[in-house]
Structure 1
Amino acid sequence: MALTAGIVGLPNVGKSTLFNAITKAGVEAANYPFATIEPNVGMVEVPDHRLNDITKLVRPKKTVPTTFEFTDIAGIVKGASKGEGLGNKFLSHIRQVDAICQVVRCFDDGNITHVSGKVDPISDIETINLELIFADLDTVEKRMARVAKIAKTKDKDAVAEMEVLEKLKEALENNQLANTVEFYDEQLPYVRNLFLLTRKKMLYVANIGEDEVADPTGNPYLAQVEALAKTQGAEVVPVCARLEEEIAELDDEEKQIFLEDYGMTESGLDRLIKKAYSLLGLATYFTAGEQEVRAWTFKVGMKAPQAAGIIHSDFERG
């Protein structure tokens, strides 16, 4: 199930630190022969207490968790949609991911300068979202120029598509993400064919201070991000990237002690992995035997034969 979440963020918000935590906590690609992992891709295990419970019960020779990919997407700057900086590279990379995890700085630290001179997570989010919106607007307008000629001939399909394009154009021009625009089922194929960036699932990762991990509710920056996310139907995961980088280097026993010392029941990275996994509509089933207990990823909504086909195509054929 080759789905991946792309991690984006402005300079000095903690994106690189978070991705370092992901790669340190990651699994060796050699254990998964069909995975070709580039340097900017981190593969992590999806935490699931059910797998641990089954393993304790069955006591197999081997336990294989399911995995999830995060892609570190570099190059986001103001003007990326016009190709400035690494803009073109950024846009091509972000088109390849299935969901976007946007890291925003929600902590004060005078030793870490912010690209705009002050901590303002809403401004950070708007900067990135506007670049995505501008890129989508360009896509929509180019498509409109082609379809408009056909629509003039009263072609039913072209007229129907123009209606969708005009609705998208109006929304994007009002700085609205495409994933917040509602369409009828029969209109969705036209939307999907555009491969819009702002149509992708969005998750905000609020990088908070170390002293707030046990209870981040008093963080005013986090509250701002949560309020904005609510208007978009998006979710927010608070993490302390620097702390997660430390946790990623610990073994299971040390990790548990570390979490208890900070008043945490699970790491922020584990929460992020599970949230991104769920965001993409993924779920897990298990196979168990003396030789191996294994977790398998399937897409929510799959029928049982399709899910079984993930193990072997013969199972799907029956």
Structure 2
Amino acid sequence: MLDLLSVFASHPSCNPSISRWSNGENVRVKKLHDLKQWLTVADAARYLSILFGEDVTDADVFRLGLDGQLRLSVYFVNGARGRCGPVVSGSDAKSTIEWTTPKQDPEGTHGLDEDAVRALTEANLISEADLADGITVVNFAAWVHGLLLGDGKVLEYAEKTVLLDGVWDLTMLGHERLEVEQIYQSLTGGPEVDMSFQDGQLDHPIVSREDGTYCQIHERNASAHYRPAACLPVDSVIVVRTSALRDLEARLSEPDQRADKPIARRERATLLVMIAALAQLAKIDVSKPSGAATAIEHQSALMGARVAARTIENHLKHIAEAIEGRSA
């Protein structure tokens, strides 16, 4: 339950914007919040102001969402359309493999590398007997039916769109992240956000719900056909589930084990060297902390454990010093 009674009315740090809740209104607010499945961003900010004992603005709520501390959602006021399905591993995703022989395409380039031959045999398109007979394959092509999310994950969505209504969670994997970032920058007087992803497939909003269903939002074009939407519907509203606020409150109430036993300097240096080695294996250039941090943040989001880019960058900046210390 959203226990607003845990906030002491006489808390010495309460400022005027918070103290207005100290006159008994918190009891009524608690009961009202318990009945709601979601809150507006403004209401979520007021609740967090009480929880933290200090002013929390709408911009702070959006920043918590961007940093992976608070799950943001979207309420489709008039519904939306999307292609939906589960997220599966690339090896389990539906795929199509096509190939032709020299007889079918005499002008083709003969021969395939080992990976292509292995894919054909695993798909039962070529048998071991065929290989023994010296069959040659040309013009090999393979593709996955779905949206590539990275980290070997695929959104295996259906061919047809379906109606989305009610509240869905923002995955922060697609264009919705840029939209939230733009709202945050606008509220804080920041710069305009470049509203495009490097990966075109993810340049569209992606939402999810607790049963594991993911959906890429679609919109109707001039020909009345549906296509991937450029952004969230204009008649949708970003909200915060009360369950997400409970999750945040539960994490804040957990004892900080790290405070009992801080990481020693030597252990920290060892971990940084290990991170550098793993990054090199993954072909991530940690000598450029900002770019590396963005790539690692995206990967952590796909794992369901997002770490903010600025937090990652702060750690990566110490790698060179750690390596130098171990080499001395």
Instruction: Report the TM-score range of the alignment, normalised by the length of the smaller protein.
Output: under 0.3
Comparing both chains, which one has the higher relative contact order based on Cα–Cα distances under 8 Å and sequence gaps of 6 or more? 1
Which structure has the bigger radius of gyration? 2
Identify, as 1 or 2, the structure richer in helix. Answer: 1
- TM-score with structure 1 length normalisation? 0.23
